[in-house]
Chain A
Amino acid sequence: MFRRQHEPADPVRFTFDGQVIAAERGETVAVALLASGVRTVRTSVVGGEPRAPYCLMGVCFDCLVTVDGAQNRNGCLTVARDGMVVESQRGRRRVGAEAGA
């Protein structure tokens, strides 16, 4: 697992599933989550397997989270901001309500 070598000098704070996470200003959501000991940010869409940020460069999509209500955001491409509400995802994203019974 990852550990910070020093506490953020100029932190921003966001929540992940309600838990307050401190990030260095300019850091991405994915890095801040990993540094805070979060091990699972979503479950996979077909098999329901736990997933965590992996490539940290926008190609593996294992870091997908809901950011301020927007689903399937790459946590590794999203810079953390104060007051951001980040949520883990379970399986496939939702599309509004069901379009029809």
Chain B
Amino acid sequence: MSRFLECDVAVIGGGLVGASIAFGLCRSGVRPLVLDGEDLDLRASRANFALVWVQGKGVGAPHYALWSRQSSLLWPQFAALLQDATGIDVALSQRGAFSFALSSAELDRWHTEMETIAGETAGAAAPYEILGHNELRDRLPAIGPDVVGAVYSPADGHVNSLRLLRALHAALKAGGADYRARHTVKGIEPLKAGFRLSGDWGTVVARRVVLAAGIGNETLAPKVGLDVPLKRSKGQVLVTEKCAPFFRFASATIRQTDEGGVMIGDSEESASTSIAARADINAVLAQRAIRTFPLLADVNVVRSWAGFRVKTLDGLPVYEESASHPGAFAVACHSGVTLAAGHALVLAPQIAAGALSPDLAVFDSRRFPRRSHVSQTA
């Protein structure tokens, strides 16, 4: 690493969050150094469900509802920029999406949540409809008898998220960023101006640093006077053999990729630390999928995996510049696919300019209870 005695901005983490920010930094004329971890790290960007999803987000947090909405509206532009920069089509499809309810209690709860979000955002949130079984069946004849109804929003969609990660990395290369795999940052030492980052690979001095290390942020943040408390959230996904197109919308639990595989999610476990996918949970996911679309019953599952979400205590993102160590930013979020466009096109230019706007600064971590190991001086 002796070549990098210094750099302007170092981004720690090269997952969807770090790579989206680094891509946006390149567009703002900053050539970041991206220090990424090890292949066996827990990496949500390789395990997610690939939805660009707004529906139901931000109950009691209208700023989050609107930020998600803003990012989903920026997505077509973001996808086009990636295509121009790399020739890679990330298969963005925003044709609308359903949340299928298998009980009326579920549907009623979602209905209330959607009304709450619409009220709290004074109508600025994405439009939606609540559909009963018959209305839903008119639109989706293959729906099963157990589906009591659905929330539908025309604003939601999905992408090919592995291709997104590849496109971002190709764009970083083309844009002049310096990406370093297997450069886990272990130490961050604040200097008079900037930070000394170190690891088994050596050290580098960066004027500014962006913590985008996913789950790794929890241990890095206190080194610069920040706090990113996360909770454990494990999710499993099933993937079927590739099928001819049969469902061209998206849904919270079932989507068909551009290549034909059907992805089935979306479990959440808060206790497990094991990276292995559990068969009993896979069985529940498969059961729900078959109740939703009975014609999936004879389709073979070819893969399943588990991933850990980057989930803050309230599920909302953290965007924060350290008050005690200006120039150090922390970014942590679930929904790094959905928010990728916002991170590249809104957040990154602000980091490049050196300050977060009030819209984003409201996502700082001061909303969480203070923990003793964090020393915040301001």
Contact = CB atoms under 8 A, between A and B. Distances in A.
A98 to B, nearest CB: 5
B241 A100 contact: no
Interface residues of B, number: 23
Contacts of B299: 93, 95
B142 interface: yes
Nearest to B292: A99
A20 interface: no
Contact of A72 (B141, B295, B300): B300
Interface in B219-260: 241-249, 259-260
B242 A100 contact: no
A100 B140 contact: yes
- Does more than half of chain A's interface fall in helix, strand or loop, or is it mixed? loop
A100 B299 CA distance: 18
A45 B246 contact: no
Nearest to A94: B244
Contacts, number: 56
Nearest to B142: A99
A70 interface: yes
Interface in A82-101: 91-101
Interface in A42-101: 45-46, 70-72, 91-101
Contact of B247 (A45, A46, A100): A100
B298 A70 contact: yes
Contact of B244 (A70, A92, A101): A92
Which of the listed residues B247, B248, B293, B298 has the most CB atoms from chain A within 10 Å of its own CB? B298
A11 to B, nearest CB: 30
B143 interface: yes
A71 to B, nearest CB: 8
Contact of B246 (A71, A72, A91, A95): A95
A92 B245 CA distance: 9
Contact of B141 (A45, A70, A91, A99): A99
A35 to B, nearest CB: 27
A95 B242 contact: no
Given A46-B259, A70-B298, A92-B260, A99 B140 contact: yes
B243 A97 contact: no
Interface of B: 139-143, 241-249, 259-260, 262, 293, 295-296, 298-300
29 contacts: A45-B242, A45-B259, A46-B259, A70-B298, A72-B241, A72-B300, A92-B242, A92-B244, A92-B260, A93-B242, A93-B243, A93-B244, A93-B299, A94-B243, A95-B262, A95-B295, A95-B296, A96-B246, A96-B295, A98-B245, A98-B247, A99-B141, A99-B142, A99-B295, A100-B140, A100-B142, A100-B247, A100-B248, A100-B249
